[in-house]
Amino acid sequence: MFNKKYITLAAVLFAVPAFSADVQITGTVQSKCSIFTDIQGVYGSPLPNTLSTAPEDGGVDPVFRIDVAKAGYYIAKVTTPTEFTSSPALTDSVTWTGSVSISEVSDAGMSAYETSKVEYETTTEYDLAIAGTTWFKASSKAEYGVDKSLPAGSYRSAVTVECVAK
């Protein structure tokens, strides 16, 4: 009787507690295509009627990059400017030219993007078939009227970069 009581007491005192815990699984769905702006462009003015982002014209080409986490899901579209977002009042037409090229890649296979790109009007399309990072460089040139000087002031425009799901 005495033993039974002590055995029960010992069992209560030294019982190993049983813990149960839920092991959580958490996850976050992140964007599979991200557009990063690395370098803002700057217009140089090599001639009185010309603005250009080309380094030889005193400008800076805008550089941006697109990160693709999963291959084959997105198309990149880059459109060079066809108008100023802000400028002094202009009385004549502006002729726009622009181009887009790949400046750096994180995967050697992405070098094929340049040969398979599709160009129409002022837009260049790239099929982002490989996961990783691609750096793009856009150049823009604006020529004003015929033998006319651009009015003094600041000129701004925008390159549009798109990630479109396939």
Site for other proteins in 3-22 (CB under 8 A): none
Q: Within 13 Å of residue 85, how many CA atoms lie on the same side as its CB?
A: 7
Among candidate residues 83, 79, 37, the one with its CA nearest the CA of residue 60? 37
Q: Does 89 bind other proteins (CB under 8 A)?
A: no
Q: Are 52 and 44 in contact (CB under 8 A)?
A: yes
Binding residue for other proteins, selected from 133, 143, 145, 148, defined by CB under 8 A: 133
Residue 143 within binding range of other proteins, rule CB under 8 A: no
SS3 72: coil
33 in contact with other proteins (CB under 8 A): yes
Phi/psi for 42 (5° steps) reads: -135, 135
Question: Among 9, 36, 88, 149, which residue sits at the site for other proteins (rule: CB under 8 A)?
Answer: 36
- Write the single-letter amino acid at 49: N
| Residue 90 in contact with other proteins, rule: CB under 8 A | no
Whichever of 53 and 122 has its CB closer to other proteins, that residue is 53
Shortest spacing between CB 19 and other proteins, in angstroms: 36
Task: Copy the structure tokens of residue 82.
Answer: 């066809």
Q: Which of 54, 71, 90, 158 binds other proteins (CB under 8 A)?
A: 158
